[in-house]
């Protein structure tokens, strides 16, 4: 499949790590998430794609049009036909909602501008707000106005730089689903920058992991989050349980792994041959808790555990368990109440073999 966007470039700064983008490609109109810690280069990539910064070397090509090529003139931002939404939305404070949306339509007739603005106001649920100023809007309304302005001119590419980061937690959680729905409706190739794993999971189709200015892993969101390529990526995507282990046996793709005093079964698809020393990676949401003493259950790994701590995280509860090794689980408050979980409670932790990911380690 011919990429819609392909970019390989370097951007250097006097301070901080250089940004080295190697074969970044967008091949479908879905959402590609640039994910990584602060300072990893995500926003720099977005600004280079938008033409707001110029790479020192390399190339950026959209379709058949070179936007940047080393030693040649670059295409200016206004000629790239893209939409850009920065972290703070950058709405013009002195312009009304309608005027903000119409800003990118200045080359069209008044009738065309008015028709497009009316269409977007209705589509994004902003009817009745056209005459308001940005300061008179909620955070969610400001986000929709910024999106409307970005897509008003029907761009070929949409760039979103942490558009939910300035919102309070309840609003951010609510708007994740709404934003995903809107992006599907836009049907525009989108690059979305975030350092929030749940945001990436809720909104993205593909995930590109950044670390110290380089792409370190890429692939479908679920695949990358569940199967980090190495310990560094596991840390970046915040896999809660990472424990050293030793492979005792590997047969028909099923590994027996010793972790402390406990043996686990893990489904192996990509572990290098003869690997013995590994890190065992388990996401907290993949741990099922039960107080049922019966051994009949589908997960291969059924571990007797003691609840050490419980921490509230909004509607969820994070539990730290001792099951021969430290294990983290995340449950809803309702599930915790139904299981009557509290510090010192004895439970069973169930983990399916495919949910345990093994990463080779040295030494």
User: Cα 325 to the chain's mean position, in Å?
Assistant: 29
Residue 101 has pLDDT above 90, yes or no: yes
For the chain, residues classed under CATH 3.40.50.300 are: 5-231
Q: What is the pTM of this model?
A: 0.75
- Per-residue confidence (pLDDT) for residue 362, from 0 to 100: 59
Q: Identify the residue with better confidence: 174 or 315.
A: 315
Q: Are 138 and 170 in contact (CB under 8 A)?
A: no
Q: Identify the residue with better confidence: 202 or 85.
A: 85
Q: How is residue 31 written in tokens?
A: 């959402």
Average pLDDT, the chain: 88
Q: Are 184 and 108 in contact (CB under 8 A)?
A: no
Residue 298 binned pLDDT confidence (cut-offs 50, 70, 90): low
- For residues 341-350, give the mean pLDDT: 94
Distance spanning both ends of the chain, measured CA to CA: 41
- For residues 43-61, give the mean pLDDT: 93
Residue 93 binned pLDDT confidence (cut-offs 50, 70, 90): very high
Q: Which residues contact 269 (CB under 8 A, 6 or more apart)?
A: 253
Helices 139-151/110-123 angle, 10° precision = 140
Domain boundaries 239-360, corresponding CATH code: 2.40.50.100
Residue 15 has pLDDT above 80, yes or no: no
Task: Give dist(CA 48, CA 348) in Å, integer.
Answer: 50
CB atoms within 10 A of CB 67: 23
pLDDT digits (tens, 9 = 90+) for 187-232: 889 999 988 877 888 888 999 999 888 899 999 988 888 788 888 8
Q: How is residue 110 written in tokens?
A: 């008044």
User: Partners of 25 in the beta sheet?
Assistant: 6
Residue 334 has pLDDT above 70, yes or no: yes
Out of 3.20.20.120, 3.40.50.300, 3.30.300.10, 1.10.490.10, which CATH number does the structure's domain 5-231 have?
3.40.50.300
Task: Give dist(CA 262, CA 36) in Å, integer.
Answer: 33
Q: Which residues contact 176 (CB under 8 A, 6 or more apart)?
A: 164, 198, 199, 202, 203
Task: Give dist(CA 221, CA 203) in Å, integer.
Answer: 9
Q: Report DSSP state, residue 205.
A: S
Residue 172 has pLDDT above 80, yes or no: no
Q: Could you give the residue ranges of the DSSP H alpha helices within the chain?
A: 42-50, 97-102, 110-123, 139-151, 169-186, 197-203, 221-226, 231-236, 333-339
For the chain, residues classed under CATH 2.40.50.100 are: 239-360
- For residues 49-60, give the mean pLDDT: 93
- DSSP letter string, 165-199: TTS-HHHHHHHHHHHHHHHHHHT--EEEEES-HHH
pLDDT digits (tens, 9 = 90+) for 119-155: 999 888 889 999 999 999 988 888 889 988 998 888 9
- Per-residue confidence (pLDDT) for residue 363, from 0 to 100: 44
Extended strands (E) in the chain: 5-11, 19-26, 31-35, 57-62, 65-69, 82-85, 157-161, 190-194, 206-211, 214-220, 241-251, 254-259, 262-267, 277-282, 288-290, 301-313, 316-322, 326-332, 346-351, 356-360
Q: Are 352 and 300 in contact (CB under 8 A)?
A: yes
In percent, how much of the chain has pLDDT > 70?
97
Among 361, 360, 363, 356, CA closest to 239: 356
Residue 296 binned pLDDT confidence (cut-offs 50, 70, 90): low
- For residues 9-21, give the mean pLDDT: 86
- Per-residue confidence (pLDDT) for residue 199, from 0 to 100: 84
- Per-residue confidence (pLDDT) for residue 229, from 0 to 100: 83
pLDDT digits (tens, 9 = 90+) for 173-189: 777 777 888 888 888 89
Residue 248 has pLDDT above 90, yes or no: yes
């Amino acid at each position: 499949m011919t990429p819609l966007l392909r970019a390989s470039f370097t951007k250097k700064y006097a301070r901080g790590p250089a940004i080295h983008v190697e074969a970044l490609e967008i091949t479908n109109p879905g959402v590609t998430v640039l994910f990584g810690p602060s300072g990893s280069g995500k926003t720099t990539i977005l600004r280079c794609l938008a033409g707001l910064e110029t790479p020192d070397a390399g190339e950026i090509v959209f379709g058949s049009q070179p936007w940047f090529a080393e030693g040649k003139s670059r295409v200016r931002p206004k000629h790239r036909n893209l939409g850009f939404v920065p972290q703070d939305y950058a709405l013009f404070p002195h312009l009304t909602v309608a005027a903000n949306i119409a800003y990118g339509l200045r080359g069209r007739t008044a009738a065309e501008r008015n028709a497009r603005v009316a269409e977007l106001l209705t589509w994004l649920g902003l009817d009745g707000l056209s005459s308001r100023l940005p300061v008179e809007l909620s955070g969610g309304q400001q986000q929709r106005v910024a999106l409307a302005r970005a897509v008003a001119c029907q761009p070929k590419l949409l760039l979103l730089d942490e558009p939910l980061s300035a919102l309070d937690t309840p609003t951010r959680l609510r708007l994740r689903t709404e934003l995903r729905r809107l992006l599907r409706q836009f049907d525009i190739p989108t690059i979305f920058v975030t350092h929030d794993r749940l945001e990436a999971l809720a909104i993205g189709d593909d995930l590109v992991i950044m670390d110290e200015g380089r792409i370190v892993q890429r692939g479908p969101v679920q695949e990358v989050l569940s199967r980090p390529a190495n310990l560094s990526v596991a840390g970046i995507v915040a896999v809660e349980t990472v424990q050293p282990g030793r492979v005792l046996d590997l047969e028909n793709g099923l590994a027996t792994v010793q972790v402390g005093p406990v043996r686990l079964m893990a489904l192996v698809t990509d572990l290098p041959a003869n690997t013995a020393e590994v890190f065992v990676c388990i996401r907290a949401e993949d741990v099922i808790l039960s107080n049922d003493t019966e051994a009949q259950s589908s997960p291969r790994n059924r571990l007797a555990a003691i609840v050490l701590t419980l921490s509230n995280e909004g509607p969820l509860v994070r539990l730290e368990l001792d099951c021969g090794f430290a294990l983290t689980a995340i449950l809803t408050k309702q599930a915790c109440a139904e299981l009557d979980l509290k510090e010192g409670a004895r439970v069973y932790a169930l983990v399916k073999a495919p949910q345990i990911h093994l990463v080779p380690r040295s030494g």
